[in-house]
A = this chain, B = another copy of it.
Amino acid sequence: MLKNWKTGAVALLFALGGHGAWGQAPAPAAAKTAAKTDSLAIRRIFDEALVRGQSYENLRYLCTRIGGRLAGSPQAALAVEWGRQTMEKAGFDRVYTQEVLVPHWVRGERERAEIIGRKGKGVVANVCALGSSPGTGGKLRAGVVEVKSFEELKALPDAAVKGKFVFFNRAFDDALIEPGQAYGRAGDQRRSGPAEAGKRGAVGALVRSLTAARDDFPHTGMTRYEPGLVPVPGAALSTNSADELSLFLKADPTLEFELEMSCLTLPDEKSYNVVGEIKGSKFPLEIITVGGHLDSWDLAQGAHDDGTGCVQSMEALRLLRAAGLKPERTMRAVLFMNEENGVRGGNEYARLAQLNHETHLAAIESDGGGFTPRGFAVDADPATVRKLARFGPLLAPYHAAAIVAGHAGTDIEPLQAAVHPKALIGYNCDSQRYFDLHHAATDTFDKVNRRELELGGASMAALLYLLGKYGL
């Protein structure tokens, strides 16, 4: 259905009409020439990505040879070395690391749970510890009180909560078109559930997994405790187990839940962001960052979260070179450490940028999976969003034309206060499958489609090319 590249280029000229795709509209004839140059350059980027792209094989190595790589783990250290070597092999002008101290939480060996009915018969529940949760110190057995919100918890009398597990069971709102929005609305349960339960005297918290999928896989993720308060264990239940527990509770509100988790927090570890640069030919001091996070939860291989963002970011720089496009501004690929449970890498990157008085034009992050491109979310003033949206038609042949205002990314966010880039930009792709595997054992390499992944890296490279050429 889509035209081949020649037709695509012609169609673009129609789409752009007399307007340029950049800030100031040049004279119509010049605009047409520039639009044609740009559309052909972008077509070269996509050709390179689809025919000789390296994202997929790089991701295969990261996922299947290194695997899950939570900050502080030996796998995270291997991933740092892999990132450095991969960028050096790609021949970037400069490759270096930024040291950062990271939390070191480990899941430990034991992690199991049972729902125990009146006659003492147990039914296994699929659980996993939430990141930063303490262990249970052997088996922890208590009654369960189910709530759908913090308001419901607040309304409960102390006697109904004290000594029990609080079971946070508010499901994803299926009617929302973007699962990310449903995640946003249910996420407080995981982030603050255990802390709030602990404050009320509960022995622990059970949290329905943050996913629209209905299956047996619990989804982990960071939970936060307040300093000075003793943390109580927090576990995620698979959606099937959550539904089961809720059903059993209706039949027998006195049932008990037995949880055993051997997770614990060790002393902070030394780790690194990995950075690779291509120097700008005209404005070497103007920096455009593109990145993903190198750490991942330990339950799976960290494929879509966020191995894909890492390999796409490195690939975006390689694609510019391979397509013969010498960037006028400096391009920097960054593999951030510790997004999942601390954002220490993102904070350190911003701190160093400020310390070194760097000029940051824009930063792009890919942390929504390696699915078919949709476009970009821009966190910037409305005029800058509009300026960027004018690039849309150039990306339309690749289904990446939707450039809209929105949240950009957790790792690049600290740059905002530190060095005030004109725009923070998030790579947006098809979002329906992401939360099926997000933070769960299902986030493995086989869930990634080669073409979808490479199209994403090419979309990011195309935006880098345009930003590098036209600035902001």
Contacts and interface: CB of A to CB of B under 8 A. Distances in A.
Given A177-B398, A398-B177, A436 B449 contact: yes
Given A175-B51, A377-B1, A372 B432 contact: yes
A111 interface: no
Contact of A1 (B174, B372, B428): B428
Interface stretch (A178-186, A193-201, A223-231, A334-342): A178-186
Given A5-B175, A46-B175, 19 more contacts: A1-B404, A1-B407, A1-B428, A2-B178, A2-B181, A4-B181, A46-B177, A50-B174, A50-B175, A177-B399, A213-B450, A214-B450, A372-B372, A372-B430, A372-B432, A430-B430, A432-B449, A432-B452, A432-B455
18 contacts: A1-B180, A1-B181, A1-B428, A5-B175, A46-B177, A47-B175, A50-B175, A51-B174, A51-B175, A177-B397, A177-B399, A212-B450, A372-B430, A430-B430, A432-B452, A433-B449, A433-B452, A436-B449
Interface residues of A, number: 38
Contacts of A407: 1
Contacts of A1: 178, 180-181, 377, 404, 406-407, 428
A337 B309 CA distance: 43
Contacts of A399: 177, 374
A397 B402 CA distance: 12
Contacts of A4: 176, 181
A191 interface: no
Interface in A384-404: 397-399, 404
A469 interface: no
A112 interface: no
A404 B2 CA distance: 10
B177 A2 contact: yes
A451 interface: yes
A396 to B, nearest CB: 10
Given A177-B397, A181-B2, A451 B432 contact: yes
A459 B377 CA distance: 24
A402 to B, nearest CB: 9
Interface string A426-453: 0010101100100000000000011110
Given A1-B377, A372-B430, A212 B178 contact: no
Nearest to A51: B174
Nearest to A435: B451
Contacts of A177: 2, 46, 50, 397-399, 455
A46 to B, nearest CB: 7
A433 B242 CA distance: 32
A450 B374 CA distance: 20
Given A1-B377, A175-B46, A406-B1, A212 B432 contact: no
Contacts of A46: 175, 177
Interface in A21-60: 46-47, 50-51
Nearest to A426: B1
A177 B46 CA distance: 9
Contacts of A178: 1-2
A428 B399 CA distance: 13
A452 B178 CA distance: 11
Interface string A92-127: 000000000000000000000000000000000000
